[in-house]
Amino acid sequence: MIDGALIGAALWPALVNGLTMGAIYALIALGLTLIYGVLHIINFAHGSLLMVALYAVLVLFERLGLDPYAALVVLVPGMFALGYALQRFVINPARHGRDENTLLVTLGLSIVIENLASHFFKTDTRQIETAYTFMMVDVAGATIAMPRLLACVGALVSCLVLAVLMRYTDLGRAIRAVAREAQGARVVGIDVEHVFAMSFAIGLACLGAAACFLLPAYYVSPQVGHGFVLVAFTVVVLGGMGSFTGSLVGGLLVGVIESLGGLLLGESLGQIGVFVVFIAILLLRPSGLFGHKA
Amino acid sequence: MNSNATTAPGPSTGMSGAPEETLLAVQDLCSGYGPVEVLREASLSVRRGEIIALLGSNGAGKSTFINTVCGLVQPRRGAIAWMGRDITGSASPEIVAAGLIQVPEGRRVFPNLSVLDNLILGSYRRGRGARTANLERVLETFPRLRERSRQSAGTLSGGEQQMLAIGRALMGEPVLLILDEPSLGLAPVIVEEMFGLIARLNQSGLSILLVEQNVAQSLELAHRAYVMENGAVVFSGNRTELLASDRLRRAYLGA
């Protein structure tokens, strides 16, 4: 039934397409893994917050005519500020010293956000059309949509910026220090509560950037976050909870698996491959998802 | 309570050349965790240039005392003055910036960070200008850390981690260095080295508050000592005075 030669020809474009989506996954997962690694909480609101950012890009484009890429200068600081405030004034106060509470708070937050989005934006799927929406680019023989290529490059650059920030700045060092040894961090005079909020803020800033790169190549609906957050969790587990390089490699890998799955099994079944990998990892590494806590 | 179980000696300790300026003055400090009150009106003072030993058995409240002074545990009653300024209830970043820095029990180095990054974070509350000079000074003091500067701290031996923890504290330019059980879990040779280092740091002008189980060695080094029992200070004085008390000598030196 499947023509070998046809698949051979389609393999390279599928790979390239997978990598472009994978870069976005990596950026989203990076935010998730940062929040997990430092605060030791699973941010169930990650997908809905991505959705919020996507709608923000949409509204800025439709109402103010702001180009999605130009919207970066609004979205990144905006999501950063939202993240800082959420952690400091909603999530942390509701925590009462128990991690389970955070889980419930972020889950509750995602339900509230999604219903608000359904109320204000209705449940329609919306897209934007820019001058470059239908431009195609040739990448070593594979033809891909311009917005996808830009999304890929933008996401990879964002990952790089984040890596540099984590490695070479005092804030990055403090975040890494707090992740493993919060008491030691307090001893050297690091304001640990501030670092917690900054980590959450940076995690959401990643979503802001991802939304700007994603919207021209994708769509938005109140439920759009679900698919992304599932994939992001897979990426985080695949790469190792809290690991940065893991998220990047895992993101690209999942993007490719999804794309190749779509090629071999049909577009609508593409994610099967991803979840097969997810299950396989949980089987091979039972300590995976909640390994640090059990 | 039982703060008058023994009386503190006068300000003169008989140590030559020790200036009289009081750096740290803790008065009737109470603190604890949840419903448990650990510290019960503990008082202690450190003058500039002194090495003070804080002794007591496990669970006497020594670490809680230190953590309360450093702003890691909220004080419930009492007062903490640092260089004449009231710092009761101040947050730890502020206290570290003021030069009151501890080397915590169990070292608490950042295992996932390089030795260099650990040291750099030690000067988190200091300007970038001071950092380079501090780093050079600390690496001069601990050549071993320079050799291993790129290695992650988690791969160091216990003794090296203790050196790193002290080096990290020195990066913050302490006026008073608080060492919580620095000899814990270290080989005797390394412990020897550690006490030698503490003496040298003190000679270079650093004031030191030393919390130790290693009573004999601490007493040899310290200008004065405090003994804590059940969250309260039950003795303060110099080595001769401590050794004069049969009860304390039996309890802490086993002789």
* CA of B99 vs chain A CAs: smallest distance (Å): 10
- Per-residue pLDDT reduced to its tens digit, A137-155: 888 888 889 999 999 999 9
Cα separation of A125 and B197, whole Å?
Answer: 68
The residue among B151, B153, B148, B218 whose CA lies nearest residue B180 is B218
Q: Which residue of B has its CA nearest to A177?
A: B110
Does the beta-carbon distance from A187 to B120 stay under 8 Å?
Answer: no
- What residue type is A255 in one-letter code? G
Of B109, B112, B172, the CB nearest to A189: B172
Query: Are residue B26 and residue B95 in the same domain, yes or no?
Result: yes
* Phi–psi pair at B4, nearest 5 degrees: -100, 20
Q: Are residues B126 and B111 part of one domain?
A: yes
Residue A286 has a pLDDT of 58
For the segment A38-55, the average pLDDT, to the nearest whole number, is 93
Confidence band (pLDDT; 50, 70, 90) for A1? very low
Same domain, B143 and B95: no
B84 and B132 part of one domain: no
Among A176, A184, A189, whose Cβ lies nearest the Cβ of B104? A184
ipTM: 0.88
Task: Give me the pLDDT at residue A149, please.
Answer: 93
Q: What is the mean pLDDT of residues B143-157?
A: 95
Interchain contact, A181 vs B117, CB within 8 Å: no
Cα separations (Å) of A128 from A69, A124, A154, B232? Answer: 13, 13, 18, 70
In a domain, B58, yes or no: yes
Q: How far apart are CA A36 and CA A41, in angstroms?
A: 5
Residues near B36 by beta carbon (within 8 Å), at least 6 away in sequence: none
Which of A69-73, A270-274, B126-130, B195-199 comes out lowest in average pLDDT? Answer: A270-274
Mark whether B211 and B245 lie in a shared domain.
yes
Q: Which of A16, A23, A12, A1 is nearest to A159 (CA)?
A: A23
pLDDT at B7 over 60: no
- To the nearest 10 degrees (0 to 180), the angle between helices B115-122 and B128-141 is 130
Share of chain B above pLDDT 70, in %: 92
Domain ranges of chain A: 26-223
A181 Cβ under 8 Å from any chain B Cβ: yes
Quick one: pLDDT at residue A250?
Answer: 86
Q: Which of residues 68-107 of B touch A (CB under 8 A)?
A: 70, 72, 91-93, 95-97, 101-104, 107
Determine the Cα–Cα distance for residues A146 and A69; give it in Å rounded to an integer: 13
A189 interface with B at CB cutoff 8 Å: yes
**Could you give the number of structural domains in chain B?**
2
Q: Is residue B72 part of a domain?
A: yes
Given this model, what pLDDT does residue A147 score? 93
- The two three-digit tokens of residue B61, written as one number: 């409240």
The shortest C-alpha distance from B247 to chain A (Å) reads 35
The rounded distance, in Å, linking the Cα atoms of A198 and A87 is 9
Q: Do B199 and B235 share a domain, yes or no?
A: yes
Q: Find the mean pLDDT for residues A177-203.
A: 96
Residues of A in contact with B111 (CB under 8 A): 180-181
How far does chain A reach from its first CA to its final CA, in angstroms? 46
Q: Pick the closest to residue A61 from A70, A73, A52 (CA basis).
A: A70
Chain A interface, best mutation among B112, B123, B126, B164, by max A CB count within 10 A:
B112
pLDDT digits (tens, 9 = 90+) for B45-60: 999 999 999 999 888 9
Is B18's pLDDT higher than 90? no
From the list A128, A292, A181, A57, the residue with the least C-alpha distance to B122 is: A181
Q: What is the pLDDT of residue A165?
A: 95
Contacts of A263 (CB under 8 A, 6+ apart): A7, A10, A11, A14, A270
Q: What is the pLDDT of residue A49?
A: 97
The residue out of B143, B172, B201 marking a domain boundary is B172
Could you tell me if A124 lies within 8 Å of chain B, comparing CB atoms?
Answer: no
Is the Cα dihedral A87, A82, B127, B21 positive or negative?
negative
What's the pLDDT at A293? 36
Q: Which of these ranges, A38-47, B4-13, B102-111, has the smallest mean pLDDT?
A: B4-13
Could you list the residue range(s) of the whole structural domain that residue B83 is in?
Answer: 1-10+21-99+174-255
